[in-house]
Amino acid sequence: MIKTIIFTTDFSALSMQAFKYTIALAKRTNAKIIVCYALEVPSTIYSLAISVEKYTDELKENALARLTSFVGGEDLEGVEVETRLCSGLPEQVLNDLAAELEADLVVMARHSRSTLERFFMGSTTEKILHETRFPILVVPHDGPRTVRWKPVLCAVDFSEASNQALRFSIQLVKEYGAELSAVHVVEFGASIESIATEKLRAQLDTLVEKAKQELDKVVHTHAAPAGTTTVVAEGKPAPIIVEQAGILGADLVIVGERGHSLLERMAIGSTTSAILRTASVPVLVIPAGCAV
């Protein structure tokens, strides 16, 4: 299922941590790793005493040396690794390279960004997520980074995007002998909870039970393996998903990305983005339109 992994690096310490995880992932899945660096060469260079061509050649030479050093510093026994130096914006480079290699997965580190930057333009990670149409695994800078996958947590909101994520999750656990827990979050709103009468609370409990029945039905329809568990919880989706990952002991969260308008990304962000920013375990995003 996972045969070719593209790992994108910026040579940072966070990227090195994510690469260690990628190596463990490749060993678990018997996959090949393509380590990629996207070199953004400026189109115009001012106040330089050397030619643009010479400047670009030196940048490429330095980048290739750093790629070799980056990969050579790890124990790669039993793992096939190649390096690729590409020119252009990271999001476009990854799209093109993933299509060329028919990659099954793109892995990258999650980098901390300021609130202001996330509000106005988003991080490089989020730009890539909104541009790339291949499964992307984002590895956090803290927390556990194992590949036990016992269980994998798949967030389900009954949309087609989450159905894609669920199908991918089921394939993953069947292929690699992992365990699966499907989690749905019912959001009533804090104001309703604070003023709910006993009668209203009973009605809300009925809705939760119906959601549990629907979740069980969806899991069964997609032929999830025996032993798959389902959980329905109440609250804000992103923090509850992150919380449930801790409760269940999940070391991988899988979510679907429906895609959002620029205004939505700037003003409020998506549930997927919120999970990515706060999860302490790797998060695998299945983009809208991804063939699963």
Q: Which residue segments constitute the domains of the chain, with CATH numbers given?
A: 1-142 (3.40.50.620), 144-292 (3.40.50.620)
DSSP letter for 104, please: S
DSSP letter for 117, please: H
Provide the pLDDT for residue 51: 67
The mean pLDDT of the chain is 85
Q: Which ranges in 149-235 belong to alpha helices (H)?
A: 160-176, 190-195, 198-221
d(C-alpha 125, C-alpha 12), whole Å: 14
Q: Are strands 136-139 and 283-287 parallel, antiparallel or unpaired?
A: antiparallel
Backbone angles phi, psi at 49, to 5 degrees: -85, 0
Cβ atoms of residues 97 and 34 within 8 Å: yes
Q: Which has the minimum average pLDDT: 55-59, 76-80, 159-163, 228-232?
A: 55-59
Q: At what angle do helices 13-29 and 52-72 cross, to 10 degrees?
A: 60
d(C-alpha 236, C-alpha 19), whole Å: 32
Provide the pLDDT for residue 267: 35
- Give residues with Cβ within 8 angstroms of 45, minimum separation 6: 52, 55
Percent of the chain whose pLDDT exceeds 70: 81
Provide the pLDDT for residue 55: 76
pLDDT band at residue 263 under the 50/70/90 scheme:
very low
pLDDT band at residue 118 under the 50/70/90 scheme:
very low
Region 249-266: mean pLDDT is 71
Residue with the larger pLDDT of the pair 21 and 47: 21
Q: What angle (nearest 5°) sits at the alpha carbon of residue 73, between those of residues 70 and 77?
A: 115
Q: How many CB atoms lie within 10 A of CB 122?
A: 19
Tracing tokens 């202001």 back to the chain, one arrives at 116
> Which residues on neighbouring strands pair with residue 105, listed in sequence order?
5
Tracing tokens 């050579």 back to the chain, one arrives at 72
Tracing tokens 């927390």 back to the chain, one arrives at 143
SS3 label, residue 112: coil
